Chains A and B, each alone.
Chain A
Amino acid sequence: MASAAQAIARYAESFGGFEKSAASRELAWLNKLRREGFARFSEAGFPTARNEDWRFTNVSAIAQTSFHLARNGHALPSAASLAPFAIPGVDTRLVFVDGRFAPGLSSAGQLPRGVTVGSLADEIARNPGAVENHLGRYLNQQRDAFAALNTAFLEDGAYVHVPKGVVLENPVSILFVSTERAEPTVTYPRNLIAMEENAQATIAEDYVSLGAGQAFCNSVTELVAGDHAVVSHYMIEREHTGAYNVSTLRIQQGRAADVSSHSVLLGGALVRNNVHPVLGGEGGECLINGLFIGDGRQHLDNYMLVEHASPHCGSRQFYNGILDGRAHGVFHGRIVVHKDAQKTDAKQTNRNLLLSDSAQIDTKPQLEIYADDVKCTHGATIGQIEESSLFYLRSRGIDEATARRLLLVAFASECIDRMKEGPVRAHIENLIHDHAQRLAQASIGRAS
């Protein structure tokens, strides 16, 4: 189609300009990575409904908008304007404004020896060899044009490296702020988290907006967990309800590594979150815990592909969705069990609460099992707030808006209860309480 070719041509022009001034462009391997990324994107183009993995999500709003790279100097927001987004109790904070690292707004906090938390661009400049070992090694760009596009334009993002046996007790927060600019702006945060054997850490990515500019954030995080590593990763999307956000988390797990991925989608007009763990070593455990809450005309798409590539691994996947107004939620849960992955134990559950007649959920499990001694279960429910529960609460004096809020929070708590106690969980609890309150109040004000 004409407009699809136009979109690619626009990006090609942008890429041409980008290549000439990109950071670390003197590194041959990095150039190759970027070019290959662009070639993949060119070849595939933006996905359409004919692409099975995008059947329920129309990305033409993104494809047809002429986004500009946020490159040149723009005044940074003040620390005070970012204070409301801070996670209480978290001292290690990386702040990226429109995709660029802002050291003046960031703080290292207390880090154990040997741990690196900083900008990926800086690390590429300082230690290109170390980064080259991991960057782009895990992402499968063949299947995803957005991930390929991110690779083409990759320049900066968070770099976290935890050496063998080191436990990072305090969480690391990575805040991505989109500011309001003169033209529609695209950013490509690229994060790399390298956890060596027996290393432990908690990392939270938080996507927020200042103002309501037209912005498209296309992020990729590669998380490598060495043998026996323990990692908790959080992705919180709470940009304004006109923003576009596509995120990809690609996890590679070694033997007996234990990785938890938690996603909380609250904001955005069109949001797609991809979680793709590969259990590459025996005895690995993976928890994928997703919560999405949509209202108005939000479209929240959760795509998950768990690959059991090794025997004796376990995965638990839980997604809870709450949809109100004319919001549209999608859950596509894929499990692939490779031929030698005997004794796989995989469990998938998607529970959805629809609060209005126009809210919609598409839920699709997809199991591909090539081994013969495995346990794989999947289930989905779609329901509404129980009138009997609402009445029970009201019959004890609790007003309707509060009763609704309590029931929404109770439903969301299924997800929150899977998060380890700590500042990140407490932060998410607060976000959910506020969000549920707004939803409950709005539903009382509307005809049901």
Chain B
Amino acid sequence: MSLLDIKDLKVRVEDREILRGINLELNPGEVHSIMGPNGSGKSTLAQVLARRETYQITGGTVTFDGKDLLAMKPEEAACEGLFLAFQYPVEIPGISNAYFLRSALNAIRKHRGQDEMDAMDFLPMLRQKLKLLDMDDKLLNRSVNEAFSGGEKKRNEILQMAVLEPKLCILDETDSGLDIDALRIVADGVNAMRSPDRAMLVVTHYQRLLNYIVPDRVHVLVDGRIVRSGGPELAHELEDKGYAAYGASTGA
């Protein structure tokens, strides 16, 4: 059974049609990439899958792990195993990173019928994952993303992913704003989470990230439609020739 099955998904915001009939299927163990020019609807797709309510669904269905994803609230989708690594993670002053992550993990564990983790068990586990992402312990007591550099914010997204162990990881332009070293660390973190039970959807504008997180399939999204799908070599072709061949409008 596929993990994610998107059929003819149509989404609009106010009076603009952003997604015009998306079809996409992901099986466990697969890594797919969605590439496209600015304004193609990449982030919209990511956010709609994560159930952000500011978008209007005008058609289509999405089945996630056999269940109706579009009927779920954001917290339900997360508890079912969907995770979105944001392109622009928000800062939340007054809530510490450690407290936030433990609350999230326990909400998901509760949904899975597992016991809550107390601080004594949680902190050592968290510290170990911090090390893998080359992040400082001190960040734990700081507020969520507060005064984090761009790179630290992106690594914090991957840290959360590592702690929450989702079934489907959606990475929304995880490479934007990262230098080559930060990119490597993030990519290593993501690759370490590849598994036969887990699928990943890597949304990106540039091909560079895909040198490190090599996808099984690449889809080209232009003006709200997937216009071409292929193997990893499609990414290199886009790098060389750009999106013009697919009738991409030059607007950003």
Contact = CB atoms under 8 A, between A and B. Distances in A.
Interface of A: 386-389, 391-400, 402-403, 406-407, 409-411, 413-414
Nearest to A417: B94
Given A389-B90, A398-B103, 17 more contacts: A392-B89, A395-B75, A395-B83, A395-B84, A396-B100, A396-B107, A396-B160, A396-B164, A397-B79, A397-B104, A397-B108, A400-B73, A400-B75, A406-B100, A407-B95, A410-B95, A414-B94
Contacts of B73: 394, 400
A397 B164 contact: yes
B162 to A, nearest CB: 13
Contacts of A406: 95, 100, 103
Interface in B101-120: 101, 103-105, 107-108, 111
Name the residue among A395, A397, A400 with the largest chain B CB count within 10 angstroms: A397
Contact of A397 (B86, B111, B143): B111
Name the residue among A391, A395, A407 with the largest chain B CB count within 10 angstroms: A395
A392 B94 contact: no
B54 interface: yes
B92 A395 contact: no
A406 to B, nearest CB: 6
B50 interface: yes
Interface of B: 50-54, 73-75, 77-79, 83-84, 86, 89-90, 92-95, 100-101, 103-105, 107-108, 111, 143-144, 160, 164
B90 A386 contact: yes
Contacts of B101: 396
Nearest to A388: B90
A396 B52 contact: no
A183 to B, nearest CB: 44
A414 B95 CA distance: 11
A444 to B, nearest CB: 11
26 contacts: A389-B90, A389-B92, A391-B52, A391-B53, A391-B74, A392-B86, A393-B104, A394-B73, A394-B75, A395-B74, A395-B78, A395-B84, A396-B83, A396-B100, A396-B104, A396-B107, A397-B108, A400-B75, A402-B107, A406-B95, A406-B100, A406-B103, A409-B95, A410-B92, A410-B143, A414-B93
A410 B78 contact: no
A393 B111 contact: no
Contacts of B54: 387
A114 to B, nearest CB: 41
A402 B78 contact: no
Nearest 3 Cβ contacts at the A-B interface = A410-B94, A396-B104, A394-B74
A393 B164 CA distance: 13
Nearest to B108: A397
Contacts of B108: 397
A402 B92 contact: no
Nearest to B50: A395
Contacts of A387: 54
Contacts of A391: 52-53, 74
A387 B78 CA distance: 17
A136 to B, nearest CB: 41
B155 to A, nearest CB: 16
A410 to B, nearest CB: 3
B104 to A, nearest CB: 4
A392 B92 CA distance: 9
Contacts of B95: 406-407, 409-410
Name the residue among B74, B78, B79, B100 with the largest chain A CB count within 10 angstroms: B74
A410 B93 contact: yes
Nearest to B79: A397
A289 B92 CA distance: 22
Contacts of B107: 396-399, 402
A397 B78 contact: yes
Contacts of A410: 92-95, 143
Contacts of A389: 90, 92
Contacts of B104: 393, 396-398
A413 B104 CA distance: 20
Given A386-B90, A407-B92, A414-B94, A393 B84 contact: no
B94 A413 contact: yes
Given A396-B104, A397-B164, A409 B78 contact: no
Contacts of A394: 73-75, 78
